[in-house]
């Protein structure tokens, strides 16, 4: 039997140049879309992370303010120093400072010398530090503990200086002594020393030095302003006015700023205001009275305080930061 050998030839066909070009083009389009989606995802993640960081800082500040002012002692002095930004007439930045007394459950951050300081009355301060974009909080707990340094010394008030005010976390004088110091017209020099130690030089916080961490409130805080409210009546209508304001009518023109140059303003870049205290020499006062300022007589204490601050994230995602306002109601 004869068998015929048959062979089958399979036709082999390669990709054409056009097909290769089309495939490469499609791959490029897919990679471009994937890269865009990836880049967008990374950008969204960075924004979300930065926003979460800013909101965390905001909560830390507002919760601490609420806690401190909840126990505000209205029978004790309240000092506020207003400082306008100095880069030009339209500089809306503020670097205000405030000091007051409050009731609460306070504890020192360090051991003095081998135990924490605990008390229910404290002298509290908020303001910017010497380092940029850091908000500080000083807390000096009133105590009669004789094992602690006798500071400040009412009989030698020269010791009430910046270095000691930053270093200590206690006051070895009582609230009643502070009340007497702030309200004795015969000793305005001591009020001057209080103001100088608290406001003349910002707290010194060094993020590389743990010994200064008790002063650190929050990093990444730029402009920090304090305003107090009063009722203003004009043409038969009564308004709530927040003073001082960089731009009272909110039209973007700073010529009517409460800092100047309007003749009805303070016409100063910085000045102080006080409640429940005598007027310090050389410091702002109005007719030597408590809580009196143009255009009408105010209560000894304001009804509310408004805090406005700009918060920045650590990665610089929000270049201009985000500005927030927080109002603390102090009551009638």
Segments making up each domain of the chain, as ranges: 57-329
Cα 263 to Cα 256: distance, rounded to the nearest angstrom:
9
Mean pLDDT (whole number) for 84-94 = 80
Average pLDDT score, the chain:
82
Average pLDDT of the segment spanning 55-65: 96
- Between 31 and 58, name the one with better pLDDT: 58
Burial class, 170, CB count within 10 angstroms (exposed 0-12 / middle 13-18 / buried 19+): buried
% of the chain beyond a pLDDT of 90: 37
Residue tagged 């201009």 (tokens): 320
How far apart (Å, rounded) are the C-alpha atoms in residues 180 and 76?
9
The whole-number pLDDT of residue 327 equals 96
Arithmetic mean of pLDDT, 37-59? 87
Give per-residue pLDDT as tens, 194-252: 777 788 878 999 988 999 999 999 999 999 999 988 777 777 777 788 888 888 877 88
| Residue whose C-alpha is closest to residue 127's, from 169, 97, 101 | 97
* CA triple 200-202-206, angle to 5 deg: 150
pLDDT (tens digit, 9 = 90+) per residue, 299-328?
Answer: 467 889 999 999 999 999 999 999 999 999
Check pLDDT > 90 for residue 139: yes
pTM of the model: 0.82
């Amino acid at each position: 039997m004869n068998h015929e050998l048959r062979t089958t030839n399979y036709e082999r066909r390669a990709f054409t140049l056009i097909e290769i070009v089309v495939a490469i083009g499609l791959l490029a389009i897919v990679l471009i879309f994937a890269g865009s989606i990836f880049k967008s995802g990374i950008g969204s993640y960075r924004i979300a992370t930065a926003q979460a960081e800013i909101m965390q800082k905001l909560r830390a500040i507002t919760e601490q303010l609420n806690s401190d002012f909840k126990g505000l002692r209205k029978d004790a002095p309240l000092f506020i120093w207003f400082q306008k930004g100095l880069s030009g007439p339209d500089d809306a930045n503020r670097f205000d400072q405030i000091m007051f007394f409050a009731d609460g459950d306070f504890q020192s951050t360090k051991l003095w010398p081998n135990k924490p300081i605990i008390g229910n009355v404290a002298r509290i301060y908020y303001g910017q530090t010497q380092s940029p974009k850091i908000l500080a909080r000083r807390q000096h707990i009133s105590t009669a503990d004789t094992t602690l340094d006798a500071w400040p010394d009412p009989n030698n008030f020269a010791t009430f200086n910046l270095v000691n005010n930053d270093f200590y976390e206690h006051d070895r004088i009582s609230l009643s002594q502070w009340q007497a110091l702030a309200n004795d017209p015969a000793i305005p020099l001591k009020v001057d020393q209080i103001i100088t130690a608290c406001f003349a030089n910002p707290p010194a916080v060094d993020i590389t030095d743990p010994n200064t961490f008790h002063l650190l409130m929050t990093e990444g805080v730029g402009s920090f302003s304090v305003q107090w409210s009063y009722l203003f009546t004009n043409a038969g209508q009564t308004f709530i006015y927040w003073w001082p304001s960089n731009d009272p009518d909110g039209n973007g023109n700073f010529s009517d700023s409460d800092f100047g140059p309007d003749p009805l303003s303070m016409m100063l870049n910085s000045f102080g205001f006080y409640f429940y205290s005598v007027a310090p020499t050389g410091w702002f006062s109005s007719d030597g009275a408590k809580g009196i300022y143009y255009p009408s007589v105010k209560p000894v204490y304001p009804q509310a305080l408004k805090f406005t601050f700009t918060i920045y994230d650590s990665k610089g995602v929000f270049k201009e930061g985000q500005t927030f306002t927080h109002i603390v109601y102090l009551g009638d």
